Amino acid sequence: MLDSLHKIDMRELASMYDEENRDTFISIYLNVEKLDKKFIEDRAKACKSVLKDGLVRENFEKTMDWINDYIKEGMESGQKGLIIFASYLKNVFIDYKLDMPLKNLLVVDSSPYIKPIAELLDFYDEYGLVVLNSNRARIYAISGGKIGYEKRIAEHVLNRHKKGGWSQARFQRIRKGEIKHFLKKVAEDMEKLDVKYIVLAGPGEAKKWLLDYLSKNVKEKIISTLDAKFGEDVISQSEEAIEDERIIERKNILQSLVDEILKNGLAVSGIEESIKAIKNGQMEMVLIKDGLTIKGWKCEKCQIFDAGSIETCPYCGSKTTSVDVIEEIVELAERMDTHIEFIDDEILDKLGGVAGFLRYK
């Protein structure tokens, strides 16, 4: 069974680390549509050659054996990507089988390397698509153009008034009541959609009628309505609507950031201030320049990190490890329940690549 990208427990992964600063975790991302075994062999050989500590080297070898045995067992039907976080020494082996191809990556570190997942989650933000007419509805949760959840609702609704029998007025009352009952059921199921955006699609007036039965919270998530035949494939159209909304939203986020900085409001910028705010639980949303990496150091014992390079922790004297500061910011943000946005814009370049909004000062 394939896993959903959105079901990955980022907070759990972000909480794992080697307390002695040893490089005991292997994180591997693979495109299994075209499995490149040579990539795995070459990366394993390179990493093994630079691991000097006997216990760490032995852990690497046993963990790689574990991973290779797993890969030999084969992949699931429809699987395109594989993510593994493993450490023989820590007795950790976590795998995710995805329906999307991934860029090959193998990282050895003192904790799971989760930045690529955070970037994927930002790019493949899940949204809702509701297609309906006056008696049928399909409710979808979609990510990356693929359906992750589907609910179908159908109700018997009178369509024509036959001669004889009921009066026209009575027929219309009954029909209206049946449609109302149907739309209430659709609205109830839409409440269960755990998504940021929703697109409505379908023929006729049902889309408009549905609005009368939706809560304020769900209404605020609707960013577009599309006219289409029931059953017509509107995923590509809905993806375009979502992308347009994301572009507008990110422009608004950056403008709000500029405004807050200018008035000395609820915003910080730069690596040092951003790290401090996240650690203190002040940061509501951290903005990171897309594709940015910054070399730094970390002490796993004290759980502190910074840009630059030092061999021993200035607080406890323990040996530090080399890290990507952005990866550490992502892990810290996940632990502190700080929302992460990756944005490609020159404003973030000028602010040092990292900035964010505060909950309070």
pLDDT per residue as tens digits for the range 199-230: 999 998 999 999 999 999 999 999 999 999 98
Question: What is the value of pTM for the model shown?
Answer: 0.81
pLDDT number for residue 169: 66
pLDDT number for residue 168: 62
Give pLDDT < 50 ranges for the chain. 161
pLDDT number for residue 68: 96
Residue 153 counted as domain residue: yes
Q: What share of the chain is helix, strand, coil (3-state, %, to 5)?
A: 40, 25, 35
Does 158 share its domain with 56?
no
Domain total of the chain: 3
Sign of CA dihedral 274, 275, 281, 287: positive
Does 146 share its domain with 219?
yes
Sign of CA dihedral 234, 237, 243, 249: negative
pLDDT number for residue 263: 96
pLDDT number for residue 305: 94
Does 226 share its domain with 144?
yes
Domain that includes residue 25, residue range: 1-117
pLDDT number for residue 53: 78
Cα distance between residue 78 and residue 108, in whole Å = 28
Residue 150 contacts residue 118 (beta carbons within 8 Å):
no
Contacts of 176 (CB under 8 A, 6+ apart): none
Cα distance between residue 248 and residue 253, in whole Å = 9
Q: Which CATH number characterizes residue 155's domain?
A: 3.30.420.60
H-helix or E-strand spanning residue 198 = strand 198-202
Residue 97 counted as domain residue: yes
Residue 289 contacts residue 354 (beta carbons within 8 Å):
yes
pLDDT number for residue 161: 47
Residue 255 counted as domain residue: no
pLDDT number for residue 94: 97
pLDDT number for residue 176: 77
Token reading at 239 = 């993806």
Last residue of a domain, which of 177, 212, 246? 246
Q: Which CATH number characterizes residue 334's domain?
A: 3.30.1330.30
pLDDT number for residue 250: 93
pLDDT number for residue 200: 96
Residue 161 counted as domain residue: yes
pLDDT number for residue 278: 97
